[in-house]
Every structure is written in C-alpha cells, then in structure tokens.
Amino acid sequence: MSFQWPTLLWTLLLLPLLVLLYLWLLRRRRRSAVRLASIAIARDALGRGPGWRRHVPPLLMLLALAALLVATARPTAKLTLPLSQRTIILAMDVSGSMRAEDVEPNRLVASQEAAKTFVQQLPRDARVGVIAFAGTAAVVQAPTQSREDVLAAIDRFQLQRATATGSAIILSLATLFPEHDIEISHITGQRKFPGRALGEDKPKPEFTPVEPGSYDSAAIIMLTDGQRTTGPDPVDAAKMAAERGVRVYTVGIGTKEGEIIGFEGWSMRVRLDEDALEQVAQMTRGEYFYAGTAEDLKKVYESLSSKMVVERKEVEISALFAALGALLAVLSAGLSVYWFGRVA
C-alpha cells in the first residue's frame, strides 16, 4: 500500500497524545472519588464499576480517528479488478503451414477450437475482433460483442501462402485506432481503412506516444506457427503498439526446430521464430506462450482468458478507510449509550 499524500501520516502522532489525555482523565477521576469521607462511602457512592467496558468505546473511537487520518493521506493499493468494455483483437495465422498435423487434428483446427473456447469465456461486454493473416492481413470480423459473429468468422478461415506477422499487428492497431489514420495500404492493398468513407479528407491527428502497456481498453493476441516471410518487421510493428500502450500477447504453435511441410503440390520449411515473438511481447509489456500440443494451446487460452477478465490496478482506497472510521465511531457511540446511557 502507498499514499498520495504521505506527509499527512504525521497526524497519527496525535493519537498517543489522546491516549495520554485519556489516562490523565482516568487518574483525575480516581482522585476525585478518594476525596469522599471514606473508602467505604466512596464504594457505596460509585457502586460496582463498569470494569473493562469503560475502555471499549474510547478504544473504538481512537481506532476510528486512526482510520480517518489514514484516509486523509489518500492510500492506494494494487487490487485485482474485473475488466469492462475491453476490446480484444485475435490475430490468427492462416498460412499454409497451419495444416501441419503435429498438433492434432492439425494446427489450424486446434487453434480455431481453442480460440472459440476463449471467446466464449470472455465477459459479455467485451468486444472481440478477428484478423486473419498470411501473406497479407485482413479484418474478417470487426470488433463486436456478438459471439455468434466472431465464432462464424473464425470458422471461415482459408489457408494462404507466406507469413506476415508484422502486418497482423499493424492492421490490429488500425482496427483499434481508426482515428490515428495508420497507413495500411502496403499490407492490405486498400487505400484507406475500411471504416473511413471514400473521399473523406480529414487532417491527420497529432500522435503522442504513451507508456508501453498503459492502454487498458484493448489488447492483441497473435497466434502464429512460423517466422515472417513477407511484410513489415514484427519488431517495428511492436514498437507502434508499444507507443500506443497496447499489449501484444504472442502464442507460438508447432515445431520449434523447423520441418518441411507440403501444401498444394509444393513444399516449404517452417520454423517458429520464438525470439521475435518474445521480443514483441516484451516490448509491449505482453507475454509469450508456446503451445506444442492442442492441450497446451487450450491451457494457453485459458491463461489468457483469466488475464482478459481481471487486471491488477492501482486504486485509491481512501473511501474504504473513511467508511471503516465512520463505522467504528458509530459503534463506539452505540456501545457507550447502551452500557452507560450516554455518549462518553
């Protein structure tokens, strides 16, 4: 726990002074009782003392003051909170190597099933978009809360040649930030982002980089089984994501060592570029996962689901201490009235 105004914690030094004042008042009360004619008369006059109950209301009031003084210092703590209105972009590799059967029944089907399970586990208010990439990248489903549309888009994947991981990240950013006017013609063949009307000519807004990983409203999950063979460098694309505060979670599936895979009469050697995927995740404050089997991939998406549902966030908890102080003060007064018939 930390404090936004820590200097106000010095006011807690007033509490020992209040304790000393309370002890002085008790001693003064005893001296007044002894001044009576005799100890016996004093006992008869005072009756049976309240015992330990006498000290409970003052103690509760002291704790109430301590809680209120801590609240004035504006304490903050990192709490695990549910996310709301987050946008998730699933960028999924549909290159020809995804038909390899080292992950049963094959890489593409395994990734589709795991992704669909992941989507169904997200909160209903989360928006999900889907981007398929091979030699180029394409938005197959714009961000939406409709789970049926997202699942249908995942089922429509068609295998293509080449792998452009950098294009997938850039198009994901253009989908999340259409107002940034990110240039995507070199990765999609389109002159403008689909959401912008033809002929519309708006001045390009000034872009100011932010802290990597600081944008909590969106995240990108990119799954691939190979290294880049075309398109922008994924590390350069990751830099763009980092400057916008977007975390990129990368998932590697398939063979680390590399193998030769046949596709439509031709063969190619594919190898998972873990170094690039780890660097992309590190630059954007995301995380890299490797899935060597369908079961591993399912566990990866389960882990990602938990990260997308909740987040660790620095939250001010002054209200909590203020409420605790008020509750203790009310309890102190209530017990005093119940036991002694007065607030004292």
Q: Is residue 140 part of a domain?
A: yes
Please check whether residue 231 is in contact with residue 164, taking contact to mean a CB–CB distance below 8 angstroms. Answer: yes
Same domain, 124 and 218: yes
Q: How confident is the model at residue 197 (pLDDT cuts 50, 70, 90)?
A: very low
Average of per-residue pLDDT across 181-203: 58
Say yes or no to pLDDT of 193 above 50.
no
Q: Is residue 99 part of a domain?
A: yes
Q: Is residue 298 part of a domain?
A: no
Q: Is residue 115 part of a domain?
A: yes
Rounded Cα gap, residues 156 and 302, in angstroms: 23
Same domain, 181 and 65: no
Q: Which residues contact 306 (CB under 8 A, 6 or more apart)?
A: none
Query: What is each CA distance from 29 to 33, 186, 243, in whole angstroms?
Result: 6, 88, 69
Q: How confident is the model at residue 199 (pLDDT cuts 50, 70, 90)?
A: very low
Average of per-residue pLDDT across 114-132: 90
Q: What is the dihedral of CA 273, 276, 282, 283, to 10 degrees?
A: -160
Q: What is the domain-level CATH number for residue 107?
A: 3.40.50.410
Q: What is the pTM of this model?
A: 0.67
* pLDDT tens-place string over residues 246-266: 999 999 987 776 566 665 566
Query: Token match 């999609």: residue?
Result: 188
Q: Is residue 311 part of a domain?
A: no
CA 3 to chain centre: 21
Q: Is residue 306 part of a domain?
A: no
Same domain, 146 and 191: yes
Same domain, 253 and 123: yes
Rounded Cα gap, residues 9 and 321, in angstroms: 13
Q: Is residue 299 part of a domain?
A: no
Say yes or no to pLDDT of 42 above 80.
no
Based on the structure, what is the number of domains in the chain?
Answer: 2
Same domain, 258 and 321: no
Residue 289 bridge partners (DSSP): 251
Same domain, 281 and 160: yes
Q: Tokens in use for 32?
A: 């007044």
Rounded Cα gap, residues 140 and 127, in angstroms: 14
Rounded Cα gap, residues 142 and 151, in angstroms: 12
Rounded Cα gap, residues 296 and 290, in angstroms: 8
Same domain, 58 and 115: no
* pLDDT tens-place string over residues 176-189: 998 888 888 766 65
Q: Which residues contact 207 (CB under 8 A, 6 or more apart)?
A: 180, 243
Same domain, 109 and 41: no
Same domain, 262 and 336: no
Between vectors from CA 311 to CA 153 and to CA 132, what angle results, nearest 5°? 20
In three-state secondary structure terms, 205 is coil
Range of the domain at 209: 83-196+203-292
Say yes or no to pLDDT of 90 above 90.
yes
Average of per-residue pLDDT across 37-54: 58
The rounded percent of the chain whose pLDDT value lies above 90 is 33
Q: Is residue 151 part of a domain?
A: yes
Say yes or no to pLDDT of 139 above 90.
yes
Same domain, 107 and 52: no
Instruction: Please indicate whether residue 265 or residue 13 has the higher confidence score (pLDDT).
Output: 13
H-helix or E-strand spanning residue 263: strand 259-263
Same domain, 62 and 95: no
Same domain, 159 and 256: yes
